[in-house]
Structure 1
Amino acid sequence: MATITRYPFLRHLRSTPTAHVVQLHDGALRRSGAGLAFWFRPLSAVLSEVPLDDRELPLVAHARTADLQEVTVQVTVSYRFTDPELAATRLDLSISPTTGAWTGNPLEQVAHLLGELTAGHVMDALAGVTLREAISSGAGPLREQVTAALLADVRVHATGLTVLGARVRSVRADADLEKALQTPAREAAQAEADRSTYERRALAVERERAIAENELGNRIELAGREQQLVLQEGTNARARAEEAAAAALVEARARAERQGVLAVAEADAARLRGEAEAAAEQARLAAYAEVPQAVLLALAAKELAANLPQVGQLTLTPDVLTGALTALAGRGAPAGTAGGE
């Protein structure tokens, strides 16, 4: 918006680089340009300000497709004033010489004009396609058709405007109808999700089966190793028993051999003792053979007394004494005979 400074009987206007100011005096063009700064008289000057910057106009257009279905299209039209002097003659772009503000609503006029033109072009573009084609084809084809139609529209050029482009943000149908159209895609997506779920479950089952087989294989392997261990332990126990039996046999043989050796040694010792005792007895008898009979009787009596039990009194009768002496004499007779020989 231009800045106007008030002075007595005069005004000073200073515009911006993005605003084109047109000054008329008595119906004739006095000044026209962007970024002007000049003095003017408020009672005789007619001022118009045309914006030169790019502007965006969001629109909502309603149309009907070839299969008689209502759709709503959100469109954004980009435009600019390329012929400010022509636009100043076709639109109310005049500004107050006191405040510099627009006296009318020129942008609303532009919005109404472009909105009607865009809605008509959208209706023309969608009249030849079905609802499914309009929704599924996307915004690209519709955007190209609407942009080309606006660029070629005579009314736009006659107003001093140039359409830079149109962007279609969405093409929407009735909520229930759009939901019905989305059902096949949703069903397909659900089927794909179910298929993925089934595949995941099948994969999980396959993995569980592989795990179970692995565990079974491990158990079989452990059972085989346990069997080998039992067999090895039995073999070891049998070997230990055989070794123990062999050791016992060796020990028994050694014990028998020791006992045989001891028996032989004892027999030899007994034989030697017998021979020694026989030799001693023979020597003793040989010694008794040279002793007088009276001495032998005395020794016999002494030995007899030593071998008799202890008695307090002993009565010897002639018969007893005679029998004893006779027996003693008979015991010593062979010795005496041997000695005589």
Structure 2
Amino acid sequence: MAIIQFYKSQPTDYVMLFKSGRLKKKGEGLSFFYYAPTSSIVVVPMGNQDQPFIFREHTRDFQELTVQGSLTYRITDPVAIAKAMNFSLNEQATAYRSDDPEKLANRIINRLQVLVRSYTQSLPLGEALEMKPATFSTIQKHLAESEYLKTLGINVLELSITAIKPNPETAGALQTRERERLLQEADDAIYLRRNASVEAERKIRENELQTEEAVEQKKRRIQEVKLEAVQQEQVKRQEMHNQQMLADIELAIKRKELVVQNQENERIEADALSYKFAKQLEPVKQLEPELVKALANMGMQPAQLMAKAFTDFANNADKIGNLNINRDAVEGIINGEVA
């Protein structure tokens, strides 16, 4: 084996070189020659570490379930963890001298399992299977605040839960229960849909009946309005007829009064004329009748005189024996030929 050796680390490794128990070099990604018999190399990985896990836990109702996921962490204080755990390489600088680096992941996972168990044992199976992301964040926060991890200088970056499953027997029972629930929900949905359809039909029928009722009420209202209009028209006509009758009665009364007044006026006028004629005839009464007749015959036409003569003949027919009248004389009088 060569006494002087060369070591080259990865960029994500923090390297510390001890010689005769004293620290000579430290840093990330170092490369150097060293004297193997008196030198010791400590390498702490600084990159992100992903550690998968599977936990079998029990719930509050004593049901078994499996929690599966992965934890991502990173060493932020290599000096502190190098003091607590052995990260030194073997003489050939090809592997670690102890299994402490491998135990680190197990120790972190064990503390994570303790936190997960505290949650699963406080919940029934149904709630444990439906743990929310907020619960996972709380578990991650409690793990990151662990004094043990802080002492080692470890930072928890992410906790991912990929599956929470019950055992096969419980899963079968849950599937059966869930299947029955889904079938019941399907039946309920069919029932609700049918009820909704019946309710919709009922509402449609009610709307139709309400529409028909509204139409009938409208028709009845229109008929009532028409009847009221006819009644008002009849009342108006009756009032007009009554007014016409009153006007006719008043007119008849006025006509009667006018006729009575006309009769009275005619009577008064007749009395006046009678009185006038009586006064005019008073001088004539004192005259002889023959003189009056002679005065009356004055100015008469021959035909009028002839008519007067025939009237006298008729009045004194019992006193006349024979009367001869010439035809030519009569025709001449009628034709106006006699002067």
Provide the C-alpha distance between the structure 1 equivalents of 2:153 and 2:118, rounded to a whole number of angstroms. Answer: 24
Provide the C-alpha distance between the structure 2 equivalents of 1:65 and 1:198, rounded to a whole number of angstroms. Answer: 37
Displacement of 1:63 in angstroms is 2.2
Contiguous gaps of at least 5 residues in structure 1: 1-6, 201-341
Provide the C-alpha distance between the structure 1 equivalents of 2:57 and 2:190, rounded to a whole number of angstroms. Answer: 42
Alignment of 1:218-237 (within 5 A): none
Provide the C-alpha distance between the structure 2 equivalents of 1:78 and 1:101, rounded to a whole number of angstroms. Answer: 23
Displacement of 1:50 in angstroms is 0.9
Alignment of 1:134-149 (within 5 A): 134-136=128-130, 138-149=131-142
Contact conserved, 1:64 with 1:127, CA < 8 A, in 2? yes
Q: Cα RMSD over matched residues?
A: 2.6
Provide the C-alpha distance between the structure 1 equivalents of 2:103 and 2:192, rounded to a whole number of angstroms. Answer: 61
Kindly, what percent of the aligned residue pairs are identical? Answer: 25
Over 3 Å counting, the alpha-carbon distance change for 1:142 and 1:132 in structure 2 is: same
Q: Does 1:187 align with 2:189?
A: no
- 1:252 maps to none
Contiguous gaps of at least 5 residues in structure 2: 194-339
Pick aligned residue for 2:65 from 55, 64, 71: 71
Contact conserved, 1:139 with 1:168, CA < 8 A, in 2? no
Provide the C-alpha distance between the structure 1 equivalents of 2:129 and 2:28, rounded to a whole number of angstroms. Answer: 44
Contact conserved, 1:63 with 1:71, CA < 8 A, in 2? yes
For residues 226-276 of structure 1, the C-alpha deviation after alignment (integer angstroms, 9 at most, x for no partner) is xxxxxxxxxxxxxxxxxxxxxxxxxxxxxxxxxxxxxxxxxxxxxxxxxxx
Pick aligned residue for 2:155 from 155, 162, 183: 162
Alignment of 1:49-128 (within 5 A): 49-128=43-122
Provide the C-alpha distance between the structure 2 equivalents of 1:120 and 1:9, rounded to a whole number of angstroms. Answer: 47
Provide the C-alpha distance between the structure 1 equivalents of 2:64 and 2:184, rounded to a whole number of angstroms. Answer: 30
Contact conserved, 2:86 with 2:101, CA < 8 A, in 1? no
Displacement of 1:191 in angstroms is 4.3
Contact conserved, 1:59 with 1:75, CA < 8 A, in 2? yes
Provide the C-alpha distance between the structure 2 equivalents of 1:107 and 1:189, rounded to a whole number of angstroms. Answer: 50
Contact conserved, 1:19 with 1:35, CA < 8 A, in 2? yes
Pick aligned residue for 1:16 from 10, 16, 19: 10
Pick aligned residue for 1:177 from 151, 156, 170: 170
- 1:152 maps to 145
Q: Which amino acid aligns with 1:48?
A: V
Q: Secondary structure at the match of 2:36?
A: coil
Displacement of 1:70 in angstroms is 2.2
TM-score by length of 2: 0.52
Displacement of 1:75 in angstroms is 2.6
Q: Which amino acid aligns with 2:24?
A: R
Q: Does 1:34 align with 2:25?
A: no
Displacement of 1:78 in angstroms is 0.5
For residues 54-79 of structure 1, the C-alpha deviation after alignment (integer angstroms, 9 at most, x for no partner) is 11101112222222222221131101
Displacement of 1:26 in angstroms is 2.6
Over 3 Å counting, the alpha-carbon distance change for 1:177 and 1:9 in structure 2 is: closer
Provide the C-alpha distance between the structure 1 equivalents of 2:147 and 2:69, rounded to a whole number of angstroms. Answer: 20
Deviation >6 Å, runs of 4+: 194-200
Displacement of 1:119 in angstroms is 0.9
- 1:297 maps to none
Contact conserved, 1:62 with 1:72, CA < 8 A, in 2? yes
Pick aligned residue for 2:127 from 129, 133, 157: 133
Displacement of 1:190 in angstroms is 3.2
Over 3 Å counting, the alpha-carbon distance change for 1:8 and 1:57 in structure 2 is: closer
Moved more, 115-124 or 153-162: 153-162
Over 3 Å counting, the alpha-carbon distance change for 1:8 and 1:104 in structure 2 is: closer
Q: Secondary structure at the match of 2:92?
A: coil
Displacement of 1:13 in angstroms is 1.3
Contact conserved, 2:41 with 2:93, CA < 8 A, in 1? no
- 1:337 maps to none
Q: Which amino acid aligns with 2:163?
A: S
Displacement of 1:154 in angstroms is 0.9
